[in-house]
Amino acid sequence: MTEAAVNAPEAKSTNTSSAQLETMAWDSKSRRFVLLYLPLCCFLIILLFPFYWMTVTAFKPNAELYNFAEHNPFWITSPTLDHIRMLLFETAYPRWLWTTMLVSVCATVLSLFASVLAAYAIQRLRFKGSQYVGLAIYLAYLVPPSILFIPLATMVFQLGLFDTPFALILTYPTFLIPFCTWLLIGYFKSIPFELEECALIDGATRVQILWQITLPLAVPGLISAGIFSFTLSWNEFIYALAFIQSSENKTVPVAILTELVTGDVYQWGALMAGSLLGSLPVAIFYSFFVDYYVSSLTGAVKE
Amino acid sequence: MSATTAAPVWTKMRPKQGALSRLFDWKPFLAFVCLLPAVGLLMTFLTYPLGLGIWLAFTDTTIGREGIWVGLENFIWLMDDPIFWSAVFFSVFYTGVATIGKFALGLWLALLLNQHVPFKSMLRAIILLPWIVPTVLSAIAFWWIYDPQFSIISYLFVDVLGWRDQNIDFINTAWPARWSLIAANIWRGIPFVAITLLAGLQTIPPSLYEAALLDGASGWQRFRYITFPMLLPILAIVMTFSIIFTFTDFQLVYAITRGGPVNSTHLLATLAFQRGIQGGQLGEGAAIAVSMIPFLVFATLFSYYGLARRKWQQGEGND
Instruction: Give the model's pLDDT for residue A22.
Output: 46
Handedness of CA A297, A300, B2, B3 (dihedral sign): positive
CA distance B141 to chain A (A): 6
Mark yes or no for CB contact A47/B126 under 8 Å: yes
Closest CA to A140 of A165, A160, A115: A115
Q: Which of A29-33, A61-65, A175-179, B123-127 has the highest mean pLDDT?
A: A175-179
Which segment of A17-31, A71-85, A186-200 scores lowest on mean pLDDT?
Answer: A17-31
Residues A174-198 have a mean pLDDT of: 88
* Averaged pLDDT of chain A: 82
Mark yes or no for CB contact B289/A231 under 8 Å: no
Contact indicator for A296, A225 with CB cutoff of 8 Å: yes
| Angle A177-A179-A181 from CA coordinates, rounded to 5° | 65
Mark yes or no for CB contact B187/A50 under 8 Å: yes
Mark yes or no for CB contact A275/B141 under 8 Å: yes
CA distance A194 to chain B (A): 9
Counting one residue from chain A and one from chain B, the pairs whose CB atoms sit within 8 A come to 304
Residues B50-65 have a mean pLDDT of: 88
Mark yes or no for CB contact A39/B112 under 8 Å: yes
A65, A110, A283 member nearest B133 (Cβ): A283
CA distance A281 to B95: 30
Q: List CB contacts (< 8 A) between A39 and chain B.
A: 108, 112
Closest residue in A to B258 (Cα) is A257
Mark yes or no for CB contact A253/B191 under 8 Å: no
CA distance B125 to B110: 13
Q: What is the pLDDT of residues A200-224, one digit of tens each?
A: 888 888 888 888 888 888 888 898 8
CA distance B175 to chain A (A): 22
The band of A28, judged by pLDDT with boundaries at 50, 70 and 90, is: confident
| Cα-trace Rg, chain B | 26
Instruction: Give the model's pLDDT for residue B2.
Output: 47
Best B32, B102, B136 residue to mutate vs chain A (most A CBs within 10 Å): B136
Residues A259-272 have a mean pLDDT of: 78
Closest residue in B to A35 (Cα) is B112
* Averaged pLDDT of chain B: 84
b/e burial code for range A239-273 (CB count within 10 A of at least 16 → b): bbbbbbeeeebbbbbbbbbeebeeeeeebbbbbbb
Which segment of B30-34, B38-42, B310-314 scores lowest on mean pLDDT?
Answer: B310-314
CA distance A85 to chain B (A): 19
Mark yes or no for CB contact A118/B39 under 8 Å: yes
- The answer, yes or no, to whether residue B121 has pLDDT greater than 90, is no
Q: List CB contacts (< 8 A) between A13 and chain B.
A: none
- The answer, yes or no, to whether residue A8 has pLDDT greater than 50, is no
- The answer, yes or no, to whether residue A113 has pLDDT greater than 90, is yes
| Cα-trace Rg, chain A | 26
Q: List CB contacts (< 8 A) between A200 and chain B.
A: 7, 10-11
- Higher-confidence residue: B94 or B241? B94
Closest CA to A275 of B258, B80, B136, B35: B136
- Higher-confidence residue: B150 or A254? A254
Which segment of A42-46, A70-74, B85-89 scores lowest on mean pLDDT?
Answer: A70-74
- The answer, yes or no, to whether residue B287 has pLDDT greater than 60, is yes
Contacts of B262 (CB under 8 A, 6+ apart): B174
- The answer, yes or no, to whether residue B13 has pLDDT greater than 60, is no
Contact indicator for B67, B61 with CB cutoff of 8 Å: yes
Residues A137-153 have a mean pLDDT of: 88
Q: What is the pLDDT of residues A273-283, one digit of tens each?
A: 889 988 888 88
CA distance B272 to B270: 5
Q: List CB contacts (< 8 A) between B14 and chain A.
A: 203
Cα B92 → chain centroid: 14
Residues B76-105 have a mean pLDDT of: 92
Mark yes or no for CB contact A118/B282 under 8 Å: no
- The answer, yes or no, to whether residue B308 has pLDDT greater than 60, is no
Q: What is the pLDDT of residues A51-98, one digit of tens each?
A: 999 998 888 888 777 777 777 778 887 888 888 888 888 888 889 999
Instruction: Give the model's pLDDT for residue A299.
Output: 64
Q: List CB contacts (< 8 A) between B129 and chain A.
A: 47-48, 51, 283, 286
Q: List CB contacts (< 8 A) between B141 and chain A.
A: 50-51, 53-54, 272, 275
CA distance A268 to A276: 12
- Give percent above pLDDT 90 in chain A: 22
Q: Label residue A89 exposed, middle or buried (CB < 10 Å: 0-12, 13-18, 19+).
A: exposed
B135, B277, B319 member nearest A242 (Cβ): B277
Mark yes or no for CB contact A139/B300 under 8 Å: yes
Q: In angstroms, what CA-CA distances link B302 with B185, B192, B238, B241, B243?
A: 22, 19, 11, 10, 11
Which segment of A26-40, B109-123, B209-223 scores lowest on mean pLDDT?
Answer: A26-40
Instruction: Give the model's pLDDT for residue A102.
Output: 93
Mark yes or no for CB contact A48/B237 under 8 Å: no
Best A100, A130, A150, A280 residue to mutate vs chain B (most B CBs within 10 Å): A150
The HSE-up count of residue A125 (CA atoms within 13 Å, CB side) is 29
B42, B49, B135 member nearest A237 (Cβ): B135
The band of A16, judged by pLDDT with boundaries at 50, 70 and 90, is: very low
Instruction: Give the model's pLDDT for residue A115.
Output: 93
Mark yes or no for CB contact A118/B121 under 8 Å: no
A48, A73, A235 member nearest B135 (Cβ): A235
CA distance B99 to chain A (A): 17
CA distance A234 to chain B (A): 7
Q: Long-range contact list for B90-93, CB < 8 A, 24+ apart?
A: B90/B178, B90/B264, B90/B265, B90/B266, B90/B267, B91/B247, B91/B267, B91/B268, B91/B292, B92/B247, B93/B178
- The answer, yes or no, to whether residue A294 has pLDDT greater than 80, is no
Contact indicator for A283, B129 with CB cutoff of 8 Å: yes
Mark yes or no for CB contact B10/A118 under 8 Å: no
B124, B135, B144 member nearest A294 (Cβ): B124
CA distance A3 to chain B (A): 8
Instruction: Give the model's pLDDT for residue A289.
Output: 83
Instruction: Give the model's pLDDT for residue A12.
Output: 41
A126, A174, A242 member nearest B42 (Cβ): A174
CA distance A194 to B112: 41
